Structure 1
Amino acid sequence: MDKKRARRPEEKEIRKQSIVAALRTLLVKQKHPLPSTQEIAESAGVTKGVIYFYFKTREEIFLTLHLQETESFFKEMAELLQGPEYSLAKLKEKIIRQFSENEIFMFVGLIIPGILESNVDRDFLYEFKKNTSDGMDELARIWLSRETGLTIANARKFILRFYFLGLMLWQHHNPPKGVKEAFLNKNLWLLEGELDQTLSESFDWLWKGMNS
């Protein structure tokens, strides 16, 4: 790719998206340590200067990637909620598939609070939080029409709480390679169970608790 800065608006958007896509490609191959700005630039075929023309910090690229992954997931959820095939079981299945199969979505979600949010300016962070919040709110409102007795407050709480619960469960079931090898074939009940099964049980537990 040409390392010069894009000039037309459409060229700038393409260049910006290519940088985000480059980060995603790197994360598929390597998560520890996190890809550096230089590595992202090389993967995107641009200079570090071009990176900083579009993003103030490396962490902004990570958050932009996560927002795009989230928006794509929310779109799929909304289509299911509004479609004729909706059922609570199908909703659970779609959420569990996202949590168990989209490693990038889960991994970046885990490092947002402790790592990524500490190195972006307040305006960027506000927009990131607002876009995520608005997406969850829209899903909650759509969900109201499909579940009798569901309130907007409970719908919001369920979406948010299961998301954070899912992040913790994903982290527990996907430790770094060295940690996983250290406990391989160890008879510890704490390490028992498959992620899909644990997520399914947790979904049912949270749903039952919310409606009790």
Structure 2
Amino acid sequence: MRFSDEQRRIMADCQIKARGITNPRLLAAFERVPREAFVPDALSEYALDDMPLPIGDGQTISQPYIVALMIDAADLRPSARVLEIGTGSGYAAAVLAQLAREVFTVERLEALAASARQRLAELGYGNVTVMAGDGSIGLPGLAPFDAILVAARAEKVPAALPEQLAIGGHLIIPVGSEEVQSLLRISRTGADHWEEHDLGAVRFVPLIGKEGLAEGGSRMD
């Protein structure tokens, strides 16, 4: 099932703009990216609904508003280099590709990474690089980044990630327990200084990896 540009515009107006996110570049990106191409065919009729949807392997595609909230908080310029952790189906990376110069996205599940890579290439998002690996440690060899967006919850902020921000950059990450999570924006304001803001309650799948949680969502020792 395919939706029209007008249907996506209505989605962006009703689900994103009406809830206080008014950045015209961001709204236009949501109008252009076909979310239905990033969900299983059996769920494509629900693609413009403001809810997460399963994409297989215990993972989900986040609801459009949450994707918009995270990207809006990142305050991206057209020249930005962005790191996304938790590629999933590639939807958020496609939106980011409309707004930033380069997008690097890391997915720990190789099958999901491969399908997202193929999907993004077929849809023409040539400024997105998809990698399979442990996103909890970031990509230190490619740092610094103007923004880092983490689409999985950690019980504490992975130490490696704030260090990979450029000065003036923002890390957007859900932090907390399975039951209670806050979406944090951590802004690097100097070489050794960061500021933290709470953007509200959210709910994400666990961040699995060396600086995250163990398989199954338990704490790493």
Normalising by structure 2, we get a TM-score of 0.26
The structure having more radius of gyration, on CA atoms, is 1
Higher-helix-fraction structure: 1
* TM-score normalised according to structure 1 size: 0.26
From the two aligned structures, give the one with the greater strand fraction.
Answer: 2
